[in-house]
Structure 1
Amino acid sequence: MASRDIPLDEVQWHHPELADSMQGIHSNSVLFYFAQSPFFDNTSNNAVVANQAMFSSAMYQYITTREAFEGRLKTMSGVEFIVAEQPAQMAPGTGTGVWVIRKQTRRKRPGDDDEITVHATYYVVGYNIYMAPTFASILSFRLATITDSLRKCFPAADEVRKWSPAQGHSYKALPAPSNARERQLASKEATPAPAPEGQAKKPAHSGTLDARLAEQSFMIQMQYGGEYMDENPITGKPGEFHLSSTGRKERPRTRPPTLNPLTTNLKTPVAAKPSDKKDGTKEAKTPKTPNSGISKPKRKKTKTGLTPGATPS
């Protein structure tokens, strides 16, 4: 017998010796086999009819077959155990061998059908008897499971969260999986595989390196963004390839700004100094060259009226 401290919906009861003495579990023995389990109520109408049949020969006919036994129970009011479902085939070695027994209360109503109130349901599988849990117990168990999971979730979330004045709230990265099977799983399409345990960790200055790489990539895009490897892409199928136009117009390339030609003429006119003559005429002067560092001696002008061949004094 099971202890009363254990809930009945967690009890599995069986008695193979008793079943063998009844020539196995069949239609005429299933209710009497169930009557020996801790799920049975000794104050039920089943116990009353069975006790009367043991001491009265007139009542013995009601316990010979299950149909006669249940027919007698239907004439009485009170708590009873009846077979609600039976196997499709009850021959030895056939069918599922699952019997469904219900505990219910029957109330007689004159001129109307009996009022039936179901209290519990039991299953007889082979030699084992189980009690089906009630909806309230199932709901209570699920709520307890959810509450326990939530109770473990919040402390775990607090452990991975950290706060700093510079970054505010942040979360720590999860450690690498320690299960060897998870590390050996191959990655499927669009399904990330767990990272290997021996993967090198990123250095502390990875943020600076990422910023530099992003800047370099942006500069390359600005400089070579309009260039493509295939000016005329190949289309078609194997054996019938064709060169097609991309439909893109070549972007005009920016040319470097052109500079004015360098002046190579060194003889540039130099502005003449204003003369002291009153008539306002200017005397033309020979421009000086940059390489003339030594001044030439000035020649004296000849006076008019000198004889030819005479040299000026």
Structure 2
Amino acid sequence: MAMKVPLLDEQDFNFPLALSDLEGHDINQANNFCWYFHNSQFFEPACNNSAILGHHRDDPATNFVLHDRNIFDERLRSIPEGLQFVVSGEPQGEGQPWLYQRQNKVRSVQGQVETFVEGNWYNRGTQVLMAPSLLDVLRARLLTVSTRLQQVAELSQDMAHWSPAGGHSYLPPSYGAPKTAATASRMGSPTLAPAELDQSQDTASAPAADPAEPTTEFSDALFMQSLMLTNRYGDEYMDENPLKGEPGAFVFTNTKNAVDERNKAQEQLSSHALSSQSTAQKVDARPPSVPPSVAPTPKGAATPVSTEGHTRKASGTNAPKDKKRERRKSKGLTSPTTPPRA
């Protein structure tokens, strides 16, 4: 099986010994790059360059054409048709490459000559490389983009999860947010150690720190700023004094003094309501008193003396009467002021 020959844009030419036959042995001189390129596999022997070289190489009178690149290029342009290699770009500084171009001039049916560019070559030192075409560049970029998109699609399939409660997500259910340090508080500032609470008053003049900036060590400036904000706005709430107006012109509904007076009035009303409620509970706890009997005592009957006092029980039940007391009431009592009859 014959070995597959690589494409021209996958080959290179590097033969420094070919410079030994040229003037100055340097590829950057005026005509050396052209003749150095003629030794590469990219050069086409059946081209207009080879025809001009064979016509003037054996003629001493016109041999100077081969040593002047400008005159050589004018002779190439004078040929109406055929394949030619011309210099399309010269190095503008040290280390910059030469640009050599392959052109094919074709005469159309209308008699006009059209030039087609079939390839570009550049050098990197003594190494000559073929520049990729625009189509090859676009193909390579599109292949890279499609490959990356395919990798992203495959990766997203492994990361996608679905559950009836949470729906679609791109994080596994077992994923947990990184836990913060044990010494960190909710706002990102570290908790205070007992030994660090005793700070000198000189820390009050320290520059204010950004509260949103995460810290891993105790910050005196952040601690003092937190205390200052607590003392200044600790008794204020967002819903106590709502804003009114339009964006860019918001104002508070009431002043701070009005809010304080309203809060004090509400506290007084609540305390008065609590005191009245407690007084009512005490009054209800006292036992109900039975009013004294207003029924008149019948004449001729003595009022019985009770050892239990003048009040009766609220239940209204009468104690059983003694038989002797009933017998005494039936006989009646004689008044001590009435003289006995004879």
TM-score, normalization by structure 2: 0.54
1:108-128 Cα distance to aligned partner (Å, 9 max, x none): 79xx99643222222123212
Structure with bigger helix share is 2
Q: Where do 1:142-291 residues align within 5 Å?
A: 142-173=141-172, 229-231=231-233, 249-250=259-260, 251=263, 252-253=266-267, 255=270, 257-258=273-274, 259=277, 260-263=280-283, 265-266=286-287, 268-269=289-290, 286-288=310-312
Distance 1:4 1:74, change over 3 A: farther
Cα separation, 1, equivalents of 2:32 and 2:293: 144
Cα separation, 2, equivalents of 1:140 and 1:35: 30
Distance 1:274 1:114, change over 3 A: farther
Secondary structure of the equivalent of 2:282? coil
User: C-alpha displacement at 1:165, in angstroms?
Assistant: 4.4
2:53 maps to what in 1?
Answer: 50
Contact 1:85 1:101 in 2 (8 A): yes
Distance 1:247 1:305, change over 3 A: closer
Cα separation, 2, equivalents of 1:43 and 1:165: 75
Q: Where do 1:17-96 residues align within 5 Å?
A: 17-22=17-22, 23-25=25-27, 26-57=29-60, 60-76=63-79, 77-88=81-92, 95-96=94-95
Distance 1:231 1:52, change over 3 A: closer
User: C-alpha displacement at 1:105, in angstroms?
Assistant: 2.2
2:335 matches 1:306? yes
Q: Where do 1:10-21 residues align within 5 Å?
A: 10-21=10-21
Secondary structure of the equivalent of 2:104? strand
2:201 maps to what in 1?
Answer: none
Contact 2:85 2:100 in 1 (8 A): yes
Contact 2:57 2:66 in 1 (8 A): no
Secondary structure of the equivalent of 1:67? helix
Secondary structure of the equivalent of 2:19? helix
1:8 maps to what in 2?
Answer: 8
1:126 maps to what in 2?
Answer: 125
Secondary structure of the equivalent of 2:74? helix
Identical pairs, percent? 20
1:147 partner letter: S
User: C-alpha displacement at 1:303, in angstroms?
Assistant: 5.0
Distance 1:29 1:174, change over 3 A: farther
Contact 1:86 1:100 in 2 (8 A): yes
1:248-295 Cα distance to aligned partner (Å, 9 max, x none): 7133347265311412654513697999x9xxxxxxx953369xxxx7
Distance 1:10 1:113, change over 3 A: same
Distance 1:18 1:272, change over 3 A: farther
Cα separation, 1, equivalents of 2:54 and 2:257: 100
1:49 partner letter: I
User: C-alpha displacement at 1:62, in angstroms?
Assistant: 2.5
Secondary structure of the equivalent of 1:230? helix
Cα separation, 2, equivalents of 1:248 and 1:132: 81
Distance 1:195 1:27, change over 3 A: farther
Structure having greater relative contact order (Cα 8 Å, sep ≥ 6): 1
Distance 1:271 1:4, change over 3 A: farther
2:137 partner letter: I
Cα separation, 2, equivalents of 1:248 and 1:123: 84
Unaligned runs of 5+ in 2: 183-229, 236-254, 299-308
1:288 partner letter: R
Length, aligned pairs only: 234
Cα separation, 2, equivalents of 1:103 and 1:69: 15
Cα separation, 1, equivalents of 2:5 and 2:256: 82
Cα separation, 1, equivalents of 2:142 and 2:107: 39
2:312 partner letter: K
Stretch moving more, 78-87 or 50-59: 50-59
Cα separation, 2, equivalents of 1:271 and 1:9: 130
Cα separation, 2, equivalents of 1:48 and 1:64: 16
Cα separation, 2, equivalents of 1:97 and 1:39: 21
Cα separation, 1, equivalents of 2:181 and 2:49: 71
Contact 2:105 2:114 in 1 (8 A): yes
Cα separation, 2, equivalents of 1:307 and 1:167: 106
Cα separation, 2, equivalents of 1:34 and 1:43: 15
